Structure 1
Amino acid sequence: MGQSKPLRAKALIVEDDPMQREMISLLLEESDLDVIECESAEAAELVLERSGGSLVLMMTDIHLAGHMNGVELAYIAKKCNPDMDVIVTSGKPLRQELPDGAQFWSKPWVPLDVIREAERMSFAWNVAGKP
């Protein structure tokens, strides 16, 4: 019989640049998070509707493929799961207000900050006794 894989906390990465998306995913996977990747806010919205309650972290760029931007997506994420850690990033200044509890990280950010945030959220998820 095969062994079951323990459930891990999940993160959603929304970035239209494939290299950036892959780098963030690798950093988060090193922190024991399962990662779901999307290149548009519209695709991410579907993920949030289906499994937003099981996500502990969403990291999104402001400028994305499609019609919705990362700030608009942050509001949807917080509505789906108010406890989710939401990080919005951009190489340009933030021009829209973020929802309560969301953070803005100016690019370039430090990869170690991503790892620290992921480990903090993973630890909180495990301490909360999530299945």
Structure 2
Amino acid sequence: MGQSQPFRATALIVEDDLAQREMITLLLEESEYDVIACESAEAAELVLNKPGHRIVLLMTDVNLAGRMNGVELAHVAKARHPHINVVVTSGRPLSQTLPGGTKFWSKPWAPLDVLREAEVTLERTPDIG
């Protein structure tokens, strides 16, 4: 009989810039996360709707490929998963209201910011070990 694997948190990264998406993915994988990366909010919404994923962190850019932007995605994510930690990033000032509990990071942000947010999210999420 195999040993049970400890639960690993899942992060959903939504960024249309491939280099940034890959950098965030690598940082979070080093922080013991499983990572699902998407370049559009529509693709991320499909992931959010799929049962079986325990997504605890969503990090999204505002401007994305497709019709929906990152702020709209943040609203969808928070409505469906109220306890998800959401971080929205942009190189421009935010013109839309974020859902409650959502963080906004102006670009450029430092890789250390991602690592700190990953750690805080794990500390706040029960049943990870």
Give the TM-score band, short-chain normalised: over 0.9
CA contact (8 A) 1:15 1:60 kept: yes
Instruction: Determine the C-alpha separation between the residues in 2 that align with 1:79 and 1:46.
Output: 14
> Which deviations, in whole Å up to 9, do the C-alpha atoms of 1:74-101 show, x marking residues without a partner?
0000011111110000001101000111
One-letter amino acid of the counterpart of residue 58, structure 2? M
Q: Name the residue aligned to 1:85.
A: 85
TM-aligned CA distance change 1:66 to 1:26, over 3 Å: same
Partner of 1:60: 60
Q: Whole-Å Cα distance in 2 between the matches of residues 30 and 129 of structure 1?
A: 19
| Offset from partner CA, 1:35-78 (integer Å, 9 cap, x none) | 10000000000001114871110000000000000000000000
Q: Say which is worse superposed, 3-12 or 32-41, in terms of deviation.
A: 3-12
Q: What is the alpha-carbon distance in structure 1 between the residues aligned to residue 79 and residue 13 of structure 2?
A: 17
RMSD (Å), alpha carbons: 1.8
Bigger mean CA offset, 2-11 vs 39-48: 2-11
Give the conservation status (yes or no) of the 8 Å contact 1:45–1:73: yes
Which structure has the highest helix share of the two? 1
Separation in structure 1 between the aligned mates of residue 25 and residue 84 of structure 2, nearest angstrom: 17
Task: State the shift of 1:123 in Å.
Answer: 2.5
Contact 1:53 1:81 in 2 (8 A): no
The aligned amino acid for 2:64 is: L
TM-score, normalised to structure 2, is 0.92
Aligned residues of 1:52 and 1:80 also touching (Cα < 8 A): no
Counterparts of 1:8 and 1:130, CA distance in 2: 6
Relative to the length of structure 1, the TM-score reads 0.91
Change (3 A) 1:20 1:52: farther
3-state secondary structure, aligned to 1:86: strand
Task: State the match for 1:101 in structure 2.
Answer: 101
Distance 2:42 2:8 in 1: 25
Instruction: Give 1:2-21 correspondences, 5 Å limit.
Output: 3-21=3-21
Extract unaligned runs of 5+ from structure 2: none
Matched, 1:114 2:114: yes
Task: Give the share of equivalent positions with the same residue, in percent.
Answer: 64
